[in-house]
Structure 1
Amino acid sequence: MSEQAPFPGSWQRAMLPMLLLAELSLGPTHGYALSKNLQQRGLGPLKGATLYPALAKLEASGLVVTRWEEGQGGPGRKVYELSDAGSIELKAQREQFDQLVQLVKATGLSQVR
């Protein structure tokens, strides 16, 4: 049986940058750990073809900084860390998301069955 994402792919892609910033607010980590942590939180499986371009965009926009970590008996790996700009952006995105949640609740969408 294959694992299926609990949300439509378009939702997952739209929310991924904010979720990555939120996960990185807990501390620096590498891409595989980010993917596994988000999956454990209920996002569903993330493909590398979705995860790594999103991380690259966050890095290019200055919201995430990276460094290479030496591997222990294996190849090195890229470690991602939230930048100061990333912390500010995460706060703004959380506020916008809270407004969206309130809008959904106010329109009665949360009551639709």
Structure 2
Amino acid sequence: MNLSKDLMAASSTPIVLGVIAEGETYGYEIVKRVEELSGGILTWTDGMMYPLLHRLEKQGYLVARWRLADSGRKRKYYAITDLGKQAILEQRQQWRVINNALNTLWNNPYDFQPA
């Protein structure tokens, strides 16, 4: 299944904030967690992930710090801020409205079947 770029773009912020809200993490772990949550359907690239993380950091939703990983590599770890937690709550409310509207439309008895 190929998800549209518009849907991917719209959902990336709440997904990333939700993953980071689970605990401090770094880019590659976020990509793997998103893949796990989607059953392998969402496969994000570095080119998509890091600009998003930097944007969320600039918006004040995340803080980042460099840490030495067990492997000896330096990694940039991201944690959610209070402002980021507030953004998650707002995004959750917005997505529930969208989800409810779509469920209402798609669960009606006049559902279209593929030709």
**Same fold, TM-score > 0.5, yes or no:** yes
1:4-60: CA deviations, max 9, x gaps? x65223211211111000111111101100000000111521010000000100000
Q: What amino acid is the match of 1:26?
A: E
User: What residue in structure 2 maps to residue 102 of structure 1?
Assistant: 100
List runs of 5+ in structure 1 lacking aligned partners: none
**2:69 is the alignment partner of 1:71:** yes
Question: What is the TM-score normalised by the length of structure 1?
Answer: 0.86
List runs of 5+ in structure 2 lacking aligned partners: none
> SS in structure 2 opposite 1:62?
coil
> SS in structure 2 opposite 1:93?
helix
Deviation beyond 4 Å, 4+ runs, structure 1: none
User: What residue in structure 1 maps to residue 24 of structure 2?
Assistant: 28
User: What residue in structure 1 maps to residue 35 of structure 2?
Assistant: 39
User: What residue in structure 2 maps to residue 60 of structure 1?
Assistant: 58
| RMSD, aligned α-carbons | 1.6
Equivalences, count? 108
Question: What is the TM-score normalised by the length of structure 2?
Answer: 0.85
Alignment partner of 2:15 out of 8, 13, 19:
19
